A and B are shown apart, each in its own frame.
Chain A
Amino acid sequence: MARAVTNQRKAVMTALAWAIGVMIFFPILWTVLTSFKTEAEAIASPPSFVGFAWTFENYVEVQERSNYFRHFWNSVIISLGSTVLGLAIAIPAAWSMAFVPGRRTKDVLMWMLSTKMLPPVGVLIPIYLIFRDTGLLDSVPGLVIVLMLINLPIIIWMLFTYFREIPGEILEAARMDGAGLKAEILYVLTPMAVPGIASTMLLNIILAWNEAFWTLNLTAAKAAPLTAFIASYSSPEGLFYAKLSAASTMAIAPILILGWFSQKQLVRGLTFGAVK
């Protein structure tokens, strides 16, 4: 093939891909830029892109007003806790469905997914009453449990599709060698399953981090994560776009950075069995 053509083609593709990529990313970039403006500059027309007086004032004010680190820490514990707990329950379930499938396996899986279709608003009052009676309102464990439950079907399905790709012969071989069930899982299966588990974990941390219905409605002061932090900056009386942007940047930055650093991990298992 002619080099010149491929290089030219590569240049065109690069330009096109970059243009689209920047366009998709632009709203986030704009939010970050706005967070460094003064309130007057944030609503100025026409807006300026970088030629404004950069200020950290909004971040200072946001930090003065709300305890960002507590919200942040709650978000970390809730998303990590619910994911770890979810994996602990999902791994055995997905394993058994993948390697000892019964006639009902497919139905069970679909039923699990259908529990995710329950609209949360419709069951808020029952759950609120249960939480009140069990003392779980505004508690981190309460949110860990709820988020684990709403994401469990996705975790199980993702793991199931991943485990199913592991050839059964390897297990047979291990069994021939007289390995027990425990050894089978520990030494044979786990190493092969790690990429799938890792990306399941990442996807779930993202979903739990961004969950904004239960985390907002079941918390008050102590367990409130970053979603509640955002709710204290959205639509006040008056125009405070710059402060809203600063708070938004602070809320999404941790997960965005985690996502970027781990995107290779995330992508590897994010196939839901779609790759053959």
Chain B
Amino acid sequence: MATAHSRVAARLMISPAVLLLLGWMIIPLSMTVYFSFLHYNLLMPGTHDFIGLTNYRYFLTDPAFFAALLNTLLLVGGVLVITIVGGVLLAILLDQPMWGQGIVRVLVIAPFFVMPTVSALVWKNMFMNPVNGLFANMAKALGLQPFDFLAHAPLASIILIVAWQWLPFATLILLTALQSLDREQLEAAEMDGAGAISSFFHIMLPHLARAITVVVLIQTIFLLSVFAEILVTTNGGPGYATTNITYLVYTQSLLQFDVGGGSAGGIVAVILANIVAIFLMRMIGKNLDI
């Protein structure tokens, strides 16, 4: 159907976006690659010796590196599991007839609008603080010893905070998908005597597959670079318990101001992210006919 004329027009229309993103990717990336081969510390001007792969060697053998890799996967995986399971259940609940549905929906989506820094500050100071946080007060009221979330379950606490922020997003997308489900199909299944659980697994879940894929893809992109929540709450600790790859790169580039080491870390992070991206694309390819 496309004519030669419209093909040329199409090229023209897509080119600004492609060129801009290409520039946005290539210029900083090539500078980063270049810096990653240098002994370049911001605090020691004048020394920019070429040191080959030393920065990479140090980053990859950093005792924090494997911990960070694992934490990144746990963080992304944990948040995805919570938001998707929670999102599906919440979407089904919100899809039921009820009073004040609009208000409930407004309450549920609110966390998505909150700045990550603000939500981390609020959770850390006003809820998880073991002395005057609300959880500590609740524990004391029940006669229990307050639990120090950020010291004894640091990664789980961060997963909780991040999941709280992303649950609304997952719920919204899943809810929209659920509303497009053919009601008659569900009713027919009910007539056939299928229980709620069986119709959930045989009708709802397959219908939601595409929406779940979308949630996974978008959230993964954002979750790989979770940073503010860690900086505000635990500073990556105790030990390396909450250091993810992004945070590790941060400690190199903005705590030690080691631009060389930070750049090497950045390149490693890009490579890892792209591995995840390829994996995701495979998955998307099956589930989404782009």
**Residues of A bordering B, CB below 8 Å:** 6, 9-10, 13-14, 16-18, 20-22, 24-25, 27-28, 30-31, 34, 43-47, 89-90, 92-93, 95-97, 99-100, 102, 105-106, 108-110, 112-127, 129-130, 149, 152-154, 156, 168, 172, 181, 206, 209-210, 212-213, 226-227, 230-231, 234-235, 241, 244-245, 248, 251-252, 255-256, 259-260, 263, 266-268, 270-276
Contacts and interface: CB of A to CB of B under 8 A. Distances in A.
Nearest to A90: B17
A27 B20 contact: no
Interface stretch (B48-56, B112-120, B150-158): B112-120
A274 B213 contact: yes
B29 A89 contact: no
| Size bin of chain B's contact surface | 35 or more
Contacts, number: 288
A260 B16 CA distance: 34
Contacts of A21: 103-105, 107-108
Contact of B228 (A90, A213, A248, A255): A213
Identify the interface centre among B21, B123, B134: most chain A CB within 10 Å of its CB. B21
A116 B221 contact: yes
Contacts of A227: 115, 117
B160 to A, nearest CB: 11
B39 to A, nearest CB: 14
In the A-B complex, the 9 residue pairs with the closest CB atoms: A122-B266, A92-B13, A96-B10, A117-B273, A21-B107, A93-B17, A100-B10, A274-B211, A126-B31
Interface of A is mostly: helix
Contacts of A172: 1
B164 A24 contact: yes
A71 B185 CA distance: 52
Given A30-B134, A90-B17, A270 B115 contact: no
Interface of B: 1-2, 6-7, 9-14, 16-18, 20-21, 24-25, 27-29, 31-32, 35, 42, 90, 93-94, 96-101, 103-119, 121-123, 125-127, 132, 134, 136-137, 140-141, 164, 167-168, 172-173, 175-177, 180, 210-211, 213-214, 217-218, 221, 224-225, 227-228, 232, 245-246, 249-250, 253-254, 259, 262-263, 265-267, 269-270, 273-274, 276-277, 281, 288, 290
A227 B35 CA distance: 29
Given A21-B107, A213-B228, A276-B210, A252 B115 contact: yes
Contacts of B225: 117, 119-120
Given A27-B122, A114-B274, A122-B265, A149 B17 contact: no
Contacts of B217: 113
Nearest to B109: A263
B108 A123 contact: no
A31 B56 CA distance: 44
A120 to B, nearest CB: 7
Nearest to B118: A248
A90 B164 CA distance: 30
B266 A121 contact: yes
A93 B262 contact: no
B290 A13 contact: no
A234 B121 contact: yes
Contacts of A241: 125-126
A119 B269 contact: yes
Nearest to A226: B115
A74 B211 CA distance: 35
Given A28-B111, A122-B269, A263-B106, 5 more contacts: A25-B108, A121-B253, A126-B28, A130-B28, A248-B121
B13 A113 contact: no
B164 A252 contact: no
A20 B108 contact: yes
Contacts of B132: 43-45
A201 to B, nearest CB: 15
